[in-house]
Structure 1
Amino acid sequence: MAGVCAVLTGVLVAGCGTASSPPDGDGTAPTTPELADTITVGIDQPPDTYNPGTAESSSIYNAYVGNLTQQAFTTARPDGTLVPNEVYGTYVKTSDDPLTVEYTFAADAVWSDGTPIDFDDALLAWAALSGAYSGDGATGEGDDAEGDAPAEGARPGLFGAASTSGWALVEKLEGEPGDKTFTMVFSEPYPDWEVLAGGFMPAHVAAEEGGLSAADDGAELVEAIRTDDVEALAPVAEFWSTGWSFPDGLTSLPDLDLIPASGPYRYESAAEGALTLVRNERWWGEPARTEHLVFATVGADEMVQALENGEIDVFDQANPTTDMVTRLSALGDAVHVETGESLAYSRLDLDSSSTGVFDDVRVRQAFGRCVPRQDLVDKFARPIEPDSEILQLRELVPAQAAYDQVLDQVPVAAEYRDVDLEGARALLAEARVSTPLRVRVLYAAGSTLRADQVALVAASCNQAGFAVEGRPDPDLFGTLAQRGGWDAAIFGWYASELVTAGESSYVTGGGLNFGGYSNREVDRLWTELGRETDRAAALELRTRLERLLWEDPYNVPLYANPGLLAYSSVVSGPAYNPTQYGSSWNAQTWTKASG
C-alpha cells in the first residue's frame, strides 16, 4: 500500500496527501529551544522509490514518506474517510453524465525547487497512468478492460504503471502550459473518482531527463502528449518508470534536483537504509513542527530494543508479535503503546502462471486446504487481539462493516476453513502431479514471524503431498515481480474502502498480480465493478468476486493483522492509524522534548 494512494495490495499509489493543514506563513518555523530537531521513525523495509506509481514500486513505506513529501487533492484519515486537501487545491464535480470534475491547484503550490505545480504535472500523470501509451490499447488490467486507444506507432511498455484503474476512463486532459486548472472527463462512471486525482510527479524533471525542455511551463512535454508524439515521449516514459528508483538497500538518493517535494518535508539524504527528510522551506501550508524526520530501517525483532536505546523514537507494526508486546510492556512509562484492529492482513500468493507450480487450479485448491489458518490465528494474532479470526474474504476484513454481510453469501469459503489433508491429497492425485511437490515460499528476510509461519504451513502441508521450503528474501517484492524464482509468498497487504482497490492484484496482467493469475470472469466482474457507482450494487459485485476467488483461488487469505504503535514518552503527536498510510499520517505535527 505512496497524491493518490493505489494499492500495492490494496496498496494505494503515489503521495497520499495526509499532511495537509491550513496555509500559514512562508514555510519556515521558529526554532523552539526546548524541542529536539530530529525524530526517528523505525521501519523494517526501506522505501524503494520516489515514484510509487510504477509497477516496480513495492515498499509499503513509500506511502509513509509520501504522506509528507507528495500531496494530492484529498487527504486520507485513519478511519478510512477522505477529506478535501484544500491546501493543495480544490475540486468540484460539475457533471454526472459524463462524470466531469474540475480541479484547481493552489495558486502558491510549488515543488520544493520553486517550480509551479500546474498543468504539465497533471497531463504527465494522465499519460503515465491512463494506459494510453501502453502499446496495446488495454489498461494492462484485464482482457476486457477498456481504455484510450494508443496512438499509432505507440511503443509497448511506455510508462510502467502499477495500475491504470480509473485513469483509463479519463479522456486526455486539455489545457495550456502554466494553467492551474484542469478538467477530468470520464468515459464511464467511476466509483472512486474522488481519490483518483493524484500521482502527480514533477513533469519538469521528467521532461528534462527525457531530452525535452522544461521551459515555458513544460510546453514541449505538453505538446508531445497533445500530439501523441511517442518518439518524444519514449525517453520521458523510461525515466518516469525507472529513473526515480532508489538503489537497493537505500544506500543513497538520486540527485536531489530530480526529487523535489510538494509537501511539508523534502528529501535531504539517505545512507545505509536510513532516509532523512528536512522541513520544506517552500511548503505553502503550515510548517512542519520538527526540522528533520529520519526513517531508519530496523529489523522487526530489533524495534523494541532500538526504541529503548533511543535509536528510534517511533515505530508501528501491522503484524506485531506477542514477544514484542511483552517487551514493550516491560518498558513502563518510558513508552506509549497503542494497539487495535487493522486493515492489514496476511496472505499467501501462489504462482498461478502457465509455468508455475500452481498452474492447475486443483493444486491451488489442495494447498488452500492444507494451510493451517486457525493455528496461525491462534499463535500469531489472538495473543495480541483476542477477537482475531480466520480471514475468509479477500477484499474485506472483519473490521469493515460489510464483511459479515458478504461472508454470509459466500458459503464456499467454509470449505477451506478447516485443514483437510485428505481432500488436499485427493486433489493432488486428481491433478496427476508428482509428490512431494516442492513449494518455495518467499518471505521477508529478517522476519522471524514469517519464518515461524512458513514452518507451521510446512508442518501441515508436507503431510498432504507438498514439500514446503522457506525462502527468506531481502527484496521480497522485487523477486515477486520476476516469476520463476518462487512458488508462493507470504506477506502483508491492506484492505480498503475503495471499491476498485484490489483490481490490479487479480485481473489479467494487473501490475500487482504477482502470480500471473487469469480468469476471464474475474476480469469481467472487475471491469463492471469499476463502472458501478451505486454502493449496494457494487457490494453485490464484490460478493460475486469473492465466490469466484474461492472457486478458482489465486491466493490464500490468512488473518487480519492486529496493529500496534509505540513511541517514546518524550514524543508528542503520534496517533494509531490502522490503514496503509501508517504512523506518519500526521508526522508534520510531531515534536520531541530535547535532552
Structure 2
Amino acid sequence: MASWCRLGMAGLLVAAFASTLTGCSGSAAARIDYVVDGPLSSYNTNTIVGAAAAGAQAFARTLTGFGYHGPDGQVVADRDFGTVSVVGGSPLVLDYQIADNAVYSDGKPVTCDDLVLTWAAQSGRFPGFEAATQAGYIDIANVECIPGQKKARVSFVPDRGVVDYNQLFTATSLLPSHVIADQLNVDVTAALLSNNGRLVEQIARLWNTTWDLKPGLDLKRFPSSGPYRIESVLDGGAVVLVVNDRWWGPKPITKRITVWPQGPDIQDRVNNRSVDVVDVATGSSGALPTPDNYERSEAPSGGIEQLIFAPQGPMAQPKARRAFALCTPRDTIAHDAGVPIANSRLQPATDDAVSAGEGAAEAGPFGRADPAAAREALGGAPQTVRIGYRGPNARLAVTVGAITKSCAAAGITVENVTLDTPGPQALRDGKIDVLLASTGGATGSGSTGSSAMDAYALHTGNGNNLSGYSNPQVDSAIGALAVSADPAERVRLLGQAAPILWGDMPTLPLYRQQRTLLVSKKMYAVGTNPTRWGAGWNMDRWASIE
C-alpha cells in the first residue's frame, strides 16, 4: 500500500493527489524542512550573485511564471499563471496572456509591467542592471505592454527566433515591478520603454538590491505570485515559506516549508530526523550516510563543475591559464567524483552525440596532469594561485587538494580559500584567482536545462561570464546556437568554437556535477531535477505523512 501511495502522490494532478492521500494512512504534517546547497541571499535569482546562490531551489513556487522546470529539466507550461501563443514565425512574435485572476500576495495584480521589467533587466540594453545572463532576452526587439494590463506582445529581432523561447519569463524570472514603482513613485514601464536614463539607473539599482534577504526584512517588498510566500528570514539565512492565501491555483499540501542553506550540520540533522529533504551536490557534505528512515537518489545535473579564471591577477593571460590547466589532474578529479571528465563549455546541459565531440581533440593535453609541461609553459617561474569555493564543501576541498599536490611539481603554489561570500563577487573583487564552481559560478547545478542558454556564460558582456572572456568568433557561435535546432549545424558551430576556447582557456571544465537527494521515507512527491531549480520545482505538492 505504501509504495502505491508514493507513486500516486508523485503525480502533479491535484485530484489524483487528493484521492491518493485519502488512501494513505496518517495525515500530512504542517511543516517540512528542506536543505539546499547554497546561501539564500536574494529573492531575485536573476542577478549575478542571486543566480549563483540557491534562491531558485527555494522560490520556484513563490515567484511563478509562464513555465517551470520539470523533473527532467524540461520547461512545463504553467497554465495557472497564463498562456503563451506564437503569432508570428519570421520574425518570431509571441503573445503572453497572464491569467485574469493572477494577483500578488499583497493584492496587487500580476501585469505585463512585470514582463517589461524582466526583459529590460536582462536584455543588456539598459545600463546598471547586474543581470546574470542576457540569453534569449537580448534577442527581443521590443515588448508591447499597456501598463496595468494582462497581455504583452513580445517581438524578436529578425532572424533571431530563439529556439528555447519557452525558457523566458518562467518561474523566478518575473519579479513584482510594482515594488520598485511604489518606492520610486514612477511608472516603471513608461520609464523603461522611453529609456529615461535617470529613472532607468534608479530602477536598476533597486532591481539589483531591493530583494536582498536578511533577518527583519520588510515583507511589503517581497510579495508572492505563487502557492507560497515568505513569512520570515531566520538568523543563519533560512527562509520560512507559508501558504499564500491569495494564490488562485490549487492549494499547496503543506502549510509551512523552511528552506535551509547547506551547513556543516547536515549529517547531524539527518541523524536526528530534523530535516525532511536534502538537495545538494554529491559529496559536498562528505559521504552523508543514509539512515534507514531516509531514501537516497543520485542523478547528473545540467551543470559542469569547472575552474573559472579571474580576468585580473596571475590568471589573466591565456598562457598562465593553460599552464595551470596542464598541471590540473582532471582524470583524478573526475575519478574521485565517480564520473567521466567533462569537456563541454557550449553544450553543457546534457551528454549527447552533439556534446561528445566538443573539443575532444583539443582537450587531449589537459586530460592528465603534466607538471613538466606546465613548468615549461611558465618558463620555470614560480607562481601562487588562490582557488576559492563556497564552503564547507568536502568534494571541492578534495579537488583543490589534488590540484595543490599536482601543481606543486610545476612550481605553482595553490592556496585553498574557503569562501563565506558569493563566489562571483569574490572573483570580481580580486579576492581569489580561480573560482571552483558549477555553471555560471553556481554552488548548485547552475543550469537552465538548455545548453543554448547556458552557453552565454562565455558570451561577451554576459553577467555570469565571470572570466570576462570576449571573442567575436565564440560570440557568433553562441548566438547561432541559440537560434539553431539542427544537430549537424550545432556540431559544426561547436567544432569551430572548441579550438578557440581550449586555446584561450577562460574556464577549465572538470566533470558533470552530480546531485544527491536525501528524502525522509515519510515524504511524498519529491524528485530530482538537473536544473538550478532543483527538487523545489513542485514543493507545493510535497507532503510528509505522519
- TM above 0.5, one fold? yes
Quick check: 1:56–1:481 contact (8 Å CA) kept in 2? no
Quick check: 1:73–1:88 contact (8 Å CA) kept in 2? yes
Aligned 1:80-91 pairs, distance under 5 A: 80-91=73-84
Query: Which residue of the partner structure matches residue 46 of structure 1?
Result: 39
Query: Could you tell me how far apart the structure 2 residues matched to 1:461 and 1:451 are?
Result: 15
Query: Which residue of the partner structure matches residue 181 of structure 2?
Result: 207
Counterpart residue type for residue 267 of structure 1: I
Deviation digits for residues 136-163 of structure 1, max 9, x if unmatched?
Answer: xxxxxxxxxxxxxxxxxxxxx2x22222
Identify the match of residue 310 of structure 1 among 266, 273, 278: 273
Query: Could you tell me how far apart the structure 2 residues matched to 1:53 and 1:202 are?
Result: 13
**Residue 284, structure 1, aligned to residue 277, structure 2:** no
Query: Which residue of the partner structure matches residue 551 of structure 1?
Result: 503
Query: Could you tell me how far apart the structure 2 residues matched to 1:573 and 1:20 are?
Result: 8
Aligned 1:14-413 pairs, distance under 5 A: 34-134=27-127, 157=128, 159-187=129-157, 188-198=160-170, 199-212=173-186, 220-247=187-214, 252=215, 254-272=217-235, 273-299=237-263, 301-320=264-283, 324-325=287-288, 327-328=289-290, 331-332=291-292, 334-351=293-310, 353=311, 355-379=312-336, 381-382=337-338, 388-396=339-347, 400-402=351-353, 405-407=356-358, 410-413=360-363
Counterpart residue type for residue 412 of structure 1: E
Query: Could you tell me how far apart the structure 2 residues matched to 1:264 and 1:98 are?
Result: 36
Quick check: 2:279–2:516 contact (8 Å CA) kept in 1? yes
Q: CA deviation at 1:321?
A: 6.1
Deviation digits for residues 107-136 of structure 1, max 9, x if unmatched?
Answer: 1111111111112222222222222322xx
Counterpart residue type for residue 201 of structure 1: L
Query: Could you tell me how far apart the structure 1 residues matched to 2:298 and 2:276 are?
Result: 17
Q: CA deviation at 1:516?
A: 2.0
Percentage identity across paired residues of the two chains: 27
Quick check: 1:58–1:477 contact (8 Å CA) kept in 2? no
Counterpart residue type for residue 86 of structure 1: R
Change (3 A) 1:520 1:480: farther
Quick check: 2:137–2:168 contact (8 Å CA) kept in 1? yes
Structure 1's consecutive aligned runs of 4 or more residues displaced over 4 angstroms after TM superposition are 19-24
Query: Which residue of the partner structure matches residue 433 of structure 2?
Result: 487
Q: CA deviation at 1:253?
A: 5.2
Deviation digits for residues 290-337 of structure 1, max 9, x if unmatched?
Answer: 0000012342x5322211212211102222269525x21xx22x1111
Query: Could you tell me how far apart the structure 2 residues matched to 1:538 and 1:414 are?
Result: 22
Quick check: 2:53–2:422 contact (8 Å CA) kept in 1? no
Counterpart residue type for residue 318 of structure 1: A
SS in structure 1 at match of 2:143:
coil
Quick check: 2:347–2:455 contact (8 Å CA) kept in 1? no
**Residue 415, structure 1, aligned to residue 415, structure 2:** no
Query: Which residue of the partner structure matches residue 527 of structure 1?
Result: 479
Query: Could you tell me how far apart the structure 2 residues matched to 1:23 and 1:168 are?
Result: 40
Aligned length: 519
Quick check: 1:171–1:186 contact (8 Å CA) kept in 2? yes
Identify the match of residue 536 of structure 2 among 557, 575, 584: 584
Quick check: 2:427–2:434 contact (8 Å CA) kept in 1? no
Quick check: 1:42–1:314 contact (8 Å CA) kept in 2? yes
Query: Could you tell me how far apart the structure 1 residues matched to 2:419 and 2:281 are?
Result: 19
**Residue 448, structure 1, aligned to residue 399, structure 2:** no
TM-score, with length taken from structure 2 = 0.89
**Residue 506, structure 1, aligned to residue 478, structure 2:** no
Deviation digits for residues 10-34 of structure 1, max 9, x if unmatched?
Answer: xxxxxxxxx986799xxxx99x983
Deviation digits for residues 200-248 of structure 1, max 9, x if unmatched?
Answer: 2111111111232xxxxxxx3333234332333332222112111124x
Deviation digits for residues 472-511 of structure 1, max 9, x if unmatched?
Answer: 1101425335232111121233455524323442123320
Query: Could you tell me how far apart the structure 2 residues matched to 1:123 and 1:183 are?
Result: 10
Note the residue ranges of structure 1 that are not aligned, 5 or more in a row: 1-18, 135-156, 213-219, 383-387
Change (3 A) 1:226 1:443: closer
SS in structure 2 at match of 1:57:
helix
Change (3 A) 1:45 1:562: closer
Query: Could you tell me how far apart the structure 2 residues matched to 1:398 and 1:65 are?
Result: 21
Quick check: 1:397–1:403 contact (8 Å CA) kept in 2? no
Query: Which residue of the partner structure matches residue 4 of structure 2?
Result: none
Quick check: 1:371–1:461 contact (8 Å CA) kept in 2? yes
Quick check: 1:101–1:184 contact (8 Å CA) kept in 2? yes
Query: Which residue of the partner structure matches residue 524 of structure 2?
Result: 572
Note the residue ranges of structure 2 that are not aligned, 5 or more in a row: 1-10, 440-444
Change (3 A) 1:233 1:75: same
Q: CA deviation at 1:461?
A: 0.6
Q: CA deviation at 1:565?
A: 0.9
**Residue 537, structure 1, aligned to residue 489, structure 2:** yes
TM-score, with length taken from structure 1 = 0.82
Query: Could you tell me how far apart the structure 2 residues matched to 1:311 and 1:358 are?
Result: 43
Counterpart residue type for residue 343 of structure 2: Q
Query: Could you tell me how far apart the structure 2 residues matched to 1:583 and 1:94 are?
Result: 34
SS in structure 1 at match of 2:258:
strand
Quick check: 1:440–1:471 contact (8 Å CA) kept in 2? yes
Instruction: Say which is worse superposed, 39-48 or 538-547, in terms of deviation.
Output: 538-547
Change (3 A) 1:392 1:476: same
Q: CA deviation at 1:540?
A: 2.5
SS in structure 1 at match of 2:28:
coil
Counterpart residue type for residue 423 of structure 1: A
Query: Could you tell me how far apart the structure 1 residues matched to 2:183 and 2:109 are?
Result: 18
Q: CA deviation at 1:62?
A: 0.9
Query: Which residue of the partner structure matches residue 562 of structure 1?
Result: 514
Query: Could you tell me how far apart the structure 1 residues matched to 2:80 and 2:104 are?
Result: 14
Quick check: 1:190–1:533 contact (8 Å CA) kept in 2? no
SS in structure 1 at match of 2:73:
coil
SS in structure 2 at match of 1:577:
coil
Deviation digits for residues 438-474 of structure 1, max 9, x if unmatched?
Answer: 0011122322332222111100011112111101110
Counterpart residue type for residue 258 of structure 2: V
Query: Which residue of the partner structure matches residue 428 of structure 1?
Result: 378
Counterpart residue type for residue 303 of structure 1: I
Query: Could you tell me how far apart the structure 1 residues matched to 2:82 and 2:355 are?
Result: 38
Quick check: 1:51–1:201 contact (8 Å CA) kept in 2? yes
